[in-house]
């Protein structure tokens, strides 16, 4: 039997000549897909909970969750059933129309983000699109003809996405340089330096974009007090404070929003990765009536954004996270994992919150650890040469966490031996 078990019809369409091995799939991949991702690590065909299987039948414990996306693991029965029934009822309508799931999800997001009266939601299909919407929102905080606000501030190490506006906010030179000129006015200030942010934020500043924890930079949390200082500086200057919680939001840190303990009200928050439980969806929340009226009818749009199936997927995901008390589980499992990691020889620092975890190694072997992990049946990620990132499904069990902790010393050894 084929490894593709979704449906016999689908198997017949993609494997007309019978079962293909992982190696055969990858040669078809490189002949047909644009090379921007390099060669994928494996060809995955099936998942259940925190486990996935590749085209050769090998099983993996997924500790990356599609990069913080599969909040409820793979093929969650409730999410699958809600998506299927919504699709069988009404799949797509365009934004000339709306649907109960779109409205219900907007209301739910305003509730969990504790947004004040007059706050609103815009739906997109991805993280970068949520950030693009926020970028356009920032441009609408335009100042006056005599005193235009043209400056947008982001941090060194920031990752906000790959489309042109989001790329202008992203700091990594290797991502930016090939695509110059990027939308103008963006300046990057040193990470975590409150004085530098205060000095840069003035009456020409339209917005400051911050990630509460920089995921792509290796899971780097902002220092204590930074968000509060950023709120003060932006409020004083009339600039918007926009928090990019695409990676940190929706329970990833054991809270609905990573920023919720900071005691501040931002002007906008972007969400995406975990929101749809694996289904593509992004969102921009604008806080309060003033910010929520900056973008007016006709100034932004999307064909797919807020589609009934995507919003149903997100409603189902939020329902399970809430009703099965998953956020408390995330805090406990995260603490357990971080304590276990800190006790392992060769791990020099452990960072993060909930189930967004980065740990540093005592040598530049992180990519080799990822390879050793795959061979041993673990999916992990190396955002930097010395850092491993874990962003597993939020339903990861303590036993599964312990399986990885028990295997890690051997993975580190294998990686060092391969140097
Ligand atoms: C992943 C990510 C994005 C981009 O999301 P895509 O869905 O890949 O476009 C933006 N901001 C942050 C903080 C992210 O982690």
> pLDDT per residue over 329-361, tens digit each?
999 999 999 999 999 999 999 999 999 999 999
Atom of ligand 1 nearest to the CA of 245: 13
User: Helix H segments across 47-182?
Assistant: 65-68, 77-89, 100-112, 127-140, 164-169, 173-176
pLDDT, tens digit, for every residue of 400-418?
999 999 999 999 999 999 9
Q: Domain segments of the chain: what residues?
A: 35-68+325-417, 79-323
Active site annotation includes 203: no
- Tell me the Ramachandran region of residue 298: left when phi exceeds 0, alpha when psi lies from -120 to 50, beta otherwise: left
Judged by DSSP in three states, 138 sits in helix
Burial class (CB in 10 A: 0-12, 13-18, 19+), 140: middle
Residue to mutate, 68, 69, 131, ligand 1, most ligand atoms under 8 Å from C-beta: 131
Please state the rounded mean pLDDT for residues 41-58.
97
Distance between Cα 276 and ligand 1 center (Å): 14
Distance between Cα 265 and ligand 1 center (Å): 22
CATH number of the domain at 79-323, please?
3.40.640.10
Active site annotation includes 244: yes
Q: What percent of the chain stands above pLDDT 70?
A: 99
Give the class (CATH, top level) of 35-68+325-417.
alpha beta
Q: Give the pLDDT band (50/70/90) at residue 308.
A: very high
Q: How far apart are CA 233 and CA 202, in angstroms?
A: 8
pLDDT, tens digit, for every residue of 154-211?
999 999 999 999 999 999 999 999 999 999 999 999 999 999 999 999 999 999 999 9
Q: Is the pLDDT of residue 245 over 70?
A: yes
CB 317 within 8 A of CB 108: no
Q: How many CA atoms lie within 13 A of 248 on its CB side?
A: 28
The answer, yes or no, to whether any atom of ligand 1 lies below 6 A from the CB of 272, is yes
Q: What percent of the chain stands above pLDDT 90?
A: 95
Q: Which residues contact 249 (CB under 8 A, 6 or more apart)?
A: 256, 257, 258, 269, 271, 273, 274, 275
Q: Is the pLDDT of residue 281 over 50?
A: yes
**Active-site residue (options: 273, 359, 378, 404):** 273
CB 91 within 8 A of CB 251: no
Q: How far apart are CA 148 and CA 141, in angstroms?
A: 9
């Amino acid at each position: 039997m084929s490894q593709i078990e979704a449906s016999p019809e689908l198997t017949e369409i993609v494997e007309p000549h019978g079962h293909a091995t992982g190696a055969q799939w990858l040669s078809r991949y490189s002949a047909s897909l644009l090379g921007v991702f390099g060669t994928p690590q494996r060809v995955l065909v099936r998942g259940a909970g925190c486990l996935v299987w590749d085209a050769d039948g090998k099983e993996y414990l997924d500790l990356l969750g599609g990069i913080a996306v599969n909040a409820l693991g793979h093929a969650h029965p409730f999410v699958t059933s809600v998506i299927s029934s919504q699709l069988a009822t009404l799949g797509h309508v365009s934004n000339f129309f709306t649907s109960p799931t779109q409205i219900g999800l907007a209301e739910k997001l305003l509730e969990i983000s504790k947004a004040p009266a007059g706050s609103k939601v815009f739906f997109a299909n991805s993280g970068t699109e949520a950030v693009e919407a926020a970028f356009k929102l920032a441009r609408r905080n335009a100042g006056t003809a005599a005193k235009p606000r043209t400056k947008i501030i982001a941090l060194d190490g920031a990752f906000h996405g790959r489309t042109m506006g989001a790329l202008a906010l992203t700091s990594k030179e290797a991502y930016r340089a090939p695509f110059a000129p990027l939308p103008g006015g963006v300046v990057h200030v040193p990470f975590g330096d409150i004085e530098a942010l205060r000095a840069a934020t003035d009456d020409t500043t339209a917005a400051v974009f911050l990630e509460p924890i920089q995921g792509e930079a290796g899971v780097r949390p902002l220092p204590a007090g930074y968000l509060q200082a950023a709120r003060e500086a932006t409020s004083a200057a009339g600039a918007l404070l926009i928090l990019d919680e695409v990676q940190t939001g929706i329970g990833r840190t054991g809270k609905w929003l990573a920023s919720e303990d900071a005691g501040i009200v931002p002007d906008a928050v972007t969400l995406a990765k975990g929101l749809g439980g694996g289904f593509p969806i992004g969102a921009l929340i604008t806080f309060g009536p003033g910010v929520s009226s900056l973008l007016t009818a006709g100034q932004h749009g999307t064909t797919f954004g807020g589609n009934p199936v995507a919003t149903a997927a997100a409603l189902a995901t939020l329902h399970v996270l809430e009703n099965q008390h998953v956020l408390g589980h995330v805090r406990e499992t995260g603490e357990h994992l971080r304590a276990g990691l800190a006790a392992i020889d060769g791990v020099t620092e452990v960072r993060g919150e909930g189930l967004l975890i980065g740990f540093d190694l005592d040598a530049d072997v992180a990519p080799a650890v990822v390879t050793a992990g795959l061979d041993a049946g673990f999916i992990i990620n190396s955002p930097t040469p010395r850092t491993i990132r874990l962003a597993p499904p939020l339903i990861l069990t303590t036993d599964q966490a312990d399986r990885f902790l028990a295997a890690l010393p051997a993975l580190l050894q294998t990686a060092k031996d391969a140097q």
